[in-house]
Amino acid sequence: MVFRTLGAASLLVFAAAMGHAEEPLTAPLPFVRVDTPEDAAAIPLYEGDAPGSEGSALEEVWRNAGTERWANNVTRPTLLPVLPDDPDATRAAVIVVPGGGFQFISMDNEGYPIAEWLAARGVAAFVLKYRTMETPADQAGYVAHMNSLWNPQPGDTPIDVTQGIPFAVADAQTALTLVRENAEVWGYDADKIGMLGFSAGAMTTIGVTLNDDETAPKPDYIGYIYGPMAGIDVPTDMTLPPMFNALAADDELFRGQGFGLVEAWEATGTPVEFHYYQSGGHGFGSYQRGVPADHWFDQFISWMAAQDLLQPAEAD
């Protein structure tokens, strides 16, 4: 495991909360259950049950969290292609990995809109809905669960959200293999496939990237958006992909950790670009709030261009 301690990770459930207070939730209750969407374009990552989740009877539950929907109790991971009109515009592809503290998937903030933005720039995008940890299906139980994470009280059983990392990483590796194997079919180059992760999705992305199994799939470049900066072992002898890293100075989770991950990347001589925004909080994702972090996506695209990832295919 590449994460040493990650004490802050125990708070990762704040990741997509978008500023919810650390006070007990009161009426009117958020997290209203909504219909689980059926998207015929979403591709199951596995034939049958996902390895390690065999026989699971959990029902996937979607909830409206006020400004977005969250997918909970995911046991059947999928990959949703969002392809550009012109597959030869850039020949690049990105797997989008939303966050949610491994308790849920922030699909409407860090998933679908990001993929649409990429496709509009000529980049083939794939939204990964990976497996999450189990949360209560009923409303009262779910609110109590979230309260115990956001505002734990004496006597509450600690919930270690890092237990969700192994399944998320395994699903991301499977997705990366699928995207690379279908490069010719879906229209991009097999050596221009990146991962763009947010919070828990950033942790998932770094877990795939730093896996010490030489046979495991690795991304060609990564975007690491408001993930932890400390507690991550970066081998000095490992070949690393270029990294784009973005964090807000007022991030509720990871401010004050220093910039160890960026420094470790830089120490290996691997290209790294780091944007430390004055404001933006945690979970800025696809939101536009009139803060400096609003501009991260355009800067990510500029960075991709600087890595020669957006060059159109050469004519025969």
pLDDT in tens, 6-52: 433 333 333 333 333 334 444 345 688 999 998 899 999 999 999 99
Q: What is the pLDDT of residue 158?
A: 87
Q: What are phi and psi of 125, to 5 degrees?
A: -120, 150
Predicted TM-score (pTM) of this structure: 0.92
* pLDDT, position 295: 98
Q: Mean pLDDT score of the chain, rounded to an integer? A: 90
How does pLDDT run across 63-101, given as a tens digit for each residue? 998 889 999 999 999 999 999 999 999 999 999 999 999
pLDDT at 34: 94
CATH number of 7-306: 3.40.50.1820
pLDDT at 18: 32
pLDDT tens-place string over residues 257-313:
999 999 999 999 999 999 999 999 999 999 999 999 999 999 999 999 999 999 876
Separation between Cα atoms, residue 157 and residue 10, nearest integer Å: 13
Residue 123 has pLDDT above 90, yes or no: yes
Q: Kindly give, in sequence order, each residue whose CB lies less than 8 Å from that of residue 298, ignoring residues fewer than 6 positions away.
A: none
pLDDT value at position 150? 81
Mean pLDDT of the region 160-174: 96
Res 151: pLDDT? 84
The helix or strand, by DSSP H or E, that contains position 165, with its residue range, turns out to be helix 165-181
Look at residue 3 in the predicted model and tell me its pLDDT.
Answer: 53
Q: Is 69 exposed, middle or buried (0-12, 13-18, 19+ CB in 10 A)?
A: buried
Give the pLDDT confidence score for residue 9 in this predicted structure.
36
> Confidence band (pLDDT; 50, 70, 90) for 314?
low
Position 288 scores a pLDDT of 94
**pLDDT exceeds 60 at position 232:** yes
pLDDT confidence bin for 147, thresholds 50/70/90: confident
**Across residues 162-177, what is the average pLDDT?**
97
Helices 165-181 and 200-209, axial angle in degrees (round to 10): 60
**Mean pLDDT score, 157-178:** 95
Question: What is the domain partition of the chain in residue ranges?
Answer: 7-306
Residue 152 above 90 pLDDT?
A: no
Task: Confirm if 86 and 110 have CB atoms less than 8 A apart.
Answer: no
Peptide bond into 292 cis (omega under 30): no
